[in-house]
C-alpha cells in the first residue's frame, strides 16, 4: 500500500485529499480539503497549507489533476493565476514520484476504477459499462471536457482529448440561429459554446429574440436555477434546447471514438441528471441515420462519485505506479 496526495486543481478551487493505492487501484480516498485558489499565491503555498491542516508531513508521492492540457513546459489555467512548471514539481512540492494529468483525463480514470454502483443510468439499455471496448466520457461545466477510456479486460488506457473544441453542428432552424448569433462574437463556433454552463445563457438569449421577449439580465447561476425549477417558461425552454444539443453532441463523440457506452460527468451534468431522462437527449443521441440501431444499443450513464477529479488523480498515479 502506498499513501499519496491527491490534488484536483481547477480555475476557482483546489481540492486535496490523502489517498491509498495498491496494485494499480485506489483503495481509499480520505476527506477532501477545499481551498479557494485566489487565497494562495501558488500551488506550492496551497500544498503547504494542506500539510498544515492535516498536521503532519505530506507523503512524497502525488496524483495531480489540473484544468488545462499538460503537454507543455509551463501550465496556465483559465481563472487561476497559478503557473505550474511540471519539471519543478518534485522540488516545489517535495515529492519523489507523481502523475500529472488533465482534469478530464482524471475523470476517465475515475470511471475506469469505480464500481457499477457509482453510475446512474440515464438512457439506453440499463446494463453495466462494458469490460472491454471504448467508453466515451464527456462533461459539461465551465467548458466541455472529453476523454476516451479504452478497456481491455482487466486493464485500461485513458486518452485525453480536446473534443469540446470541435465545430458546433446545427440541426434545425433554432440551432442555425444560435450559430449565426455566436458568429457575431467568434470567428469559429465550437461545440462547447453551446453545450457548457455558459451555453444556456446563449440559448436563452436567442430564444428570447425569436419570441420577441425582453431579456432580463441575470447571471448564469440564477438562470440555471430558474431553468431547472421550471418556473420560467423561457429558461425551461432553453434547458430543453440545451439537452437536445447535448444529445446530438454526445452521439457525435461516441461515433467518432468508436464507443460502446457513454458516461456524463461535470458540474452541469450533475445538475441536469434528473432532467436528461425525460428530455429530448436520447432522441437526438440515437438520431445518427444508418447508425441509429447501434446508438440505440448504447448505454448512457452519469458518474455519481462526489469527487471524481480527486479520485481520478489518485487512480492515475496508481496506474502509473503499477506500470
Residue 261: its pLDDT value, please?
Answer: 98
Residue 77: its pLDDT value, please?
Answer: 82
Question: Which residues contribute to the annotated binding site?
Answer: 7-12
CATH of 2-114+305-322, one of 3.30.1330.60, 2.40.50.140, 3.10.20.30, 3.30.420.40: 3.30.420.40
Question: Which residues contribute to the annotated binding site for ATP?
Answer: 7-12
Closest alpha carbon to 247 in 198, 197, 195: 195
Three-state DSSP at 31 gives coil
Model confidence at 215, pLDDT cuts 50, 70, 90, reads: confident
pLDDT tens figures, 17-43? 999 999 999 999 999 999 999 999 999
pLDDT tens figures, 103-158? 999 999 999 999 999 999 999 999 999 999 999 999 998 889 999 999 997 899 99
Residues 6+ apart with CB under 8 A from 128: 116, 299
Q: What is the 3-state secondary structure (H, E, C) of 36-49?
A: EHHHCCCHHHHHHH
Whether 2-114+305-322 and 163-303 share one fold: the answer is no
**Chain centroid to CA 196:** 10
Closest alpha carbon to 255 in 298, 192, 212: 298
**What are the sequence ranges of the domains in the chain?**
2-114+305-322, 163-303
Model confidence at 323, pLDDT cuts 50, 70, 90, reads: low
pLDDT tens figures, 49-108? 999 999 999 999 999 999 999 989 999 887 788 999 999 999 999 999 999 999 999 999
Q: Is the pLDDT of residue 217 over 80?
A: no
Do 265 and 301 form a contact (C-beta atoms < 8 A)?
no
This prediction has a pTM of 0.93
CATH of 163-303, one of 3.50.50.60, 3.90.550.10, 3.40.50.10490, 3.40.367.20: 3.40.367.20
Angle CA 134–139–145, to nearest 5:
80
Amino acid at each position: 500500500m502506498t499513501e499519496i496526495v491527491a490534488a484536483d486543481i481547477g480555475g476557482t478551487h483546489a481540492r486535496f485529499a490523502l489517498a491509498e493505492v495498491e496494485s494499480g487501484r485506489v483503495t481509499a480516498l480520505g476527506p477532501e480539503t477545499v481551498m479557494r485558489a485566489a487565497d494562495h499565491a501558488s500551488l506550492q503555498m496551497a500544498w503547504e497549507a494542506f500539510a498544515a491542516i492535516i498536521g503532519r508531513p505530506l507523503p512524497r508521492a502525488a496524483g495531480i489533476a489540473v484544468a488545462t492540457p499538460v503537454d507543455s513546459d509551463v501550465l496556465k489555467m483559465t481563472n487561476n493565476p497559478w503557473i505550474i512548471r511540471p519539471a519543478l514539481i518534485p522540488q516545489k512540492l517535495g515529492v519523489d514520484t507523481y502523475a500529472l494529468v488533465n482534469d478530464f483525463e482524471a475523470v476517465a480514470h475515475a470511471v475506469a476504477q469505480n464500481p457499477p454502483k457509482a453510475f446512474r443510468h440515464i438512457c439506453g439499455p440499463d446494463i453495466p459499462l462494458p469490460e472491454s471496448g471504448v467508453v466515451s466520457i464527456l462533461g459539461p461545466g465551465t467548458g466541455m471536457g472529453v476523454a476516451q477510456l479504452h478497456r481491455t479486460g482487466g486493464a485500461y488506457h485513458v486518452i485525453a482529448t480536446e473534443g469540446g473544441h470541435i465545430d458546433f453542428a446545427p440541426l434545425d432552424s433554432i440551432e442555425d440561429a444560435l450559430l449565426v448569433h455566436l458568429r457575431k462574437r467568434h470567428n469559429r463556433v465550437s461545440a462547447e459554446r453551446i453545450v457548457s454552463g455558459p451555453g444556456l445563457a446563449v440559448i436563452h438569449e436567442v430564444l428570447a429574440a425569436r419570441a420577441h421577449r425582453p431579456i432580463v439580465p441575470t447571471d448564469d447561476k440564477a438562470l440555471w436555477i430558474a431553468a431547472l425549477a421550471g418556473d420560467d417558461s423561457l429558461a425551461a425552454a432553453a434547458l430543453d434546447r440545451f439537452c437536445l444539443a447535448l444529445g446530438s453532441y454526445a452521439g457525435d463523440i461516441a461515433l467518432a471514438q468508436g464507443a460502446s457506452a457513454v458516461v456524463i460527468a461535470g458540474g452541469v451534468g450533475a445538475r441536469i441528471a434528473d432532467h436528461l431522462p425525460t428530455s429530448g437527449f436520447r432522441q437526438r443521441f440515437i438520431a445518427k441515420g444508418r447508425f441509429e440501431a447501434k446508438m440505440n444499443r448504447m448505454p448512457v450513464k452519469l458518474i455519481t462519485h462526489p469527487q471524481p477529479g480527486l479520485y481520478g488523480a489518485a487512480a492515475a498515479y496508481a496506474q502509473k505506479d503499477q506500470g
